[in-house]
Amino acid sequence: MEILHGIFIDPFITMYELPDLLVQVLWEGFVAGTLYSLIALGFVLIFKASGVFNFAQGIIVVFGALSLVGLHSLGIPAFVALFLCIGIMFALAWLVEFTVLRRLVNQDPIILFMATIGLNYFLIGFGEGVFGGEPKTMITAELGLPTGAFDFDILGGLVSLQQIDITAAVTAGVMVGGLAVFFNKTRIGRGLRAVADDHQAAQSVGISLNHIWIVVWFAAGIVALATGVMWGARSDVSFALSIVALKALPVLILGGFTSISGAIVGGLIIGISEKMAEFYWGPLVGGSIESWFPYFLALLFLWFRPQGLFGEKIIERV
């Protein structure tokens, strides 16, 4: 009885009694959600265009942020470093295409997946070798990112919105908008959608697969860089960040591997619900349920829609 009370009644009483905290939890969930969406977006872009489940996306996030901080610590001005980083992301995309993807065309998805785990290992070793394993502080101020907070004395308490979080949400919005325009309005974008639909058909009308792959990995790299900067500013820049990137996986199954809007909606659902669950229901079972709750939520959704919320329906023929 007491347990039922704890599950079904107490949390809602807390929500009602402390509305400021409820708003704050929702906000934190929203911000975490936008960042999960950004990471998931990187996965989706690559999966759509090349059918690769890119496990290395998390480490690319770290790698981008580390290069930025590393370059800056060499005395390069922040914005120049940012541009150089975008260059590094391009080089990475080209290298991955040239050394891995091109040679693994037409292999099973699982083989490509394995190859990205290999890439993951390589980048961990390379990144740590070059930049060192110690955590770094994100160059928030140098990049002109705001650091303060807006406080609102409402709802009988305090709701505090960190400016960096607002920036993160805005950045995520801009990125998604930009990518949407890119996909729908540009030539490359149309080519990309064609490739996503059917590799061979696209190739037969003269779309270069290799170029498309580079573009897509580059786009995913830029998304990763943005995520790395934002998340780095919220905590610090270290290799542990790639663990956070695993959170994008439930987002993916929830939203579907091939849907950009799925990544966004999925990210928000996961972000908000995991914070709510941890905050209101976590203490009942000893806390720290955030690590698996999103997966169970995603599983629940999958039970009804096996291809994810926005995924394409797979039609199988014998």
Partner 1 sequence: MLYRETGQFKTTYLADMAIFPIRQDYFLMIGILLFAYVIAPLVMNDFWLNSIMIPTMIFALAAIGLNILTGYTGQLSLGHGGFMGVGAYACYKLTSYFPDVNIIIHIFLSGFFAAAVGFVFGLPSLRIKGFYLAVATLASQFFLEWAFGRIAWLYNYNDSGAIEVSSRTLFDIPIAGASAEPVTRYFVVLAIVTFLTWIALNLVRGRFGRCWMAVRDMDIAAELIGIKLLPTKLLAFSVSSYYAGVAGALMVFMWLGAAEVESFDINHSFLILFMVIIGGLGSILGSFLGAIFIWNLPVLLRAIPDMIGVNIGAATVEHMTFMVTGALIIFFLIVEPHGFARLWQITKEKLRLWPFPY
Partner 2 sequence: MLMKKLALGAGVAALVGASVLADTQPVQAEDSLYIPLTTYRTGPFAGSGTPIANGLHDYFTMLNERDGGIGGVKLDVEECETGYNAQKGVECYEGTKGKGALVYNPYSTGITLQLIPKAPVDQIPILSMGYGLSATAVGEKFPWTFNVPATYWSQLSAIIKHIDTEDGVKGKKIGYIYLDVGYGREPIPLLDELAAEMGFEVVKIPVGVKEMQNQSSHWLQVRKERPDWMIMWGWGAMNPTAIKEAVKVRFPMDKFVGVWWSGGNVDLRPAGASAKGYKSTNFHGTGTGFKAIQDIMEHVVSKGKSQADPENVGDNYYNRGVMNAVIVAEAIRTAQKITGKSVITGADMREGLEHLDLTEARIAELGLSGFANPMKVTCEDHAGAHPIYIQQWDGAGWHKASDWITPMVDKVRPKLEKAAEDWVADKPDWQMGSC
Q: Which residues bind partner 1 (CB under 8 A)?
A: 53, 99-100, 103-104, 107-111, 113-115, 117-126, 128-129, 133, 246, 249-250, 252-253, 257, 285-286, 288-289, 291-292, 295-296, 298-299, 302-303, 306-308, 314, 316, 318
Q: Which of residues 19-38 bind partner 2 (CB under 8 A)?
A: 21, 24-25, 28, 31-32
Q: Tell me the two tokens of residue 197.
A: 């639909």
How far apart, in whole angstroms, are the C-alpha atoms of residue 284 and residue 154? 29
CA dihedral 310, 269, 89, 146 (to 10 degrees): 140
Tell me the per-residue interface mask from 110 to 139 with partner 2, x by CB under 8 A, - otherwise: ------------------x---xxxx-xx-
Taking CB under 8 A as the binding criterion, the range among 76-84, 176-184, 205-213, 280-288 that sits at the site for partner 2 is 280-288
Minimum CB separation of residue 260 from partner 2 in Å reads 24
Alpha helix (H) ranges present in 100-238?
109-131, 163-185, 187-197, 199-204, 209-234
- Cα–Cα distances in Å, from 193 out to 92, 220, 226, 236? 22, 15, 23, 36
Eight-class DSSP state of 312:
P
Q: Could you say which of 63, 217, 218, 239 contacts partner 2 (CB under 8 A)?
A: 239
Contacts with 57 (C-beta within 8 Å, 6 or more apart), sequence order: 39, 42, 43, 46, 220, 224, 245, 248
Q: Which is nearer to partner 1, 139 or 276 (CB)?
A: 276
**Could you list the residues that contact partner 2 (CB under 8 A)?**
14, 18, 21, 24-25, 28, 31-32, 128, 132-135, 137-138, 149, 160, 162, 231, 234-236, 238-241, 243-244, 246-247, 274-275, 278-279, 282-283, 286-288, 290-291
